[in-house]
Structure 1
């Protein structure tokens, strides 16, 4: 059976699972579907749900925050509303020179639509985007 017939999740390394829990659950409001160990760390991982199913594996690791690339993107209908809600919850949106972002941190997306980026406490980058 080819991989295209299976669900996929993003995996995100964090340096401190307790700090990550405060961010992913507290600020982003993601529900925990399961928790477990991460290597030798009891309770060092979480699987978070989004869109009706498992979406993110978050685990404590020494390799946390070592990529600047966007790790996962949420596709939303009302980008302004989501950005406002996340900002109210304490999420700070990244600003990148030359991307034409507005005061909220929303900018044009390549190929049309709009996008905004934010980071977790380890510097892992995520995006929310919409087609309008």
Structure 2
């Protein structure tokens, strides 16, 4: 059976689950669907819902923050509104040299649309994308 038949979930390593909870729940507004252990860390992981189902595993690990690429993307209808709401909650948006960003940190996306990036406390990069 091809993998396209199954749901896909992103997983992100963090160095401190308590700090991650403050960011993912407090700033991003994600709702934890469940928690559990992460290796030897009791209660060291969370599964967050997004878009109507489980979407993001966050777990405490010594490998936290080692990926420099974008690890997950939220596709949103109104990127300006979502960026404004997250910025008001304390999320800082990344700006990259050689890329023209507006005052909010939003830039044109290759192939059309718009994109904005932000990082969690461990440096894991996420993006918001909109087709308009």
- TM norm structure 2: 0.99
Displacement of 1:2 in angstroms is 1.4
Correspondence for 2:117:
117
Provide the aligned length of Structure 1 versus Structure 2. 132
Where 1:129 maps in the other structure, the secondary structure is strand
Displacement of 1:31 in angstroms is 0.4
Correspondence for 2:55:
55
Q: List, as ranges, runs of 4+ consecutive aligned residues in structure 1 with deviation greater than 4 Å.
A: none
Q: Distance in 2 between matches of 1:98 and 1:105?
A: 13
Q: Distance in 2 between matches of 1:114 and 1:43?
A: 37
Where 2:94 maps in the other structure, the secondary structure is coil
Q: Distance in 2 between matches of 1:42 and 1:26?
A: 21
Displacement of 1:29 in angstroms is 0.3
Q: Distance in 2 between matches of 1:15 and 1:2?
A: 34
Correspondence for 1:97:
97
Q: Distance in 2 between matches of 1:86 and 1:98?
A: 24
Within a 5 Å distance, the mapping from 1:5-84 to structure 2 comes to: 5-84=5-84
- Structure 2 runs not aligned, ≥5 long: none
- Structure 1 runs not aligned, ≥5 long: none
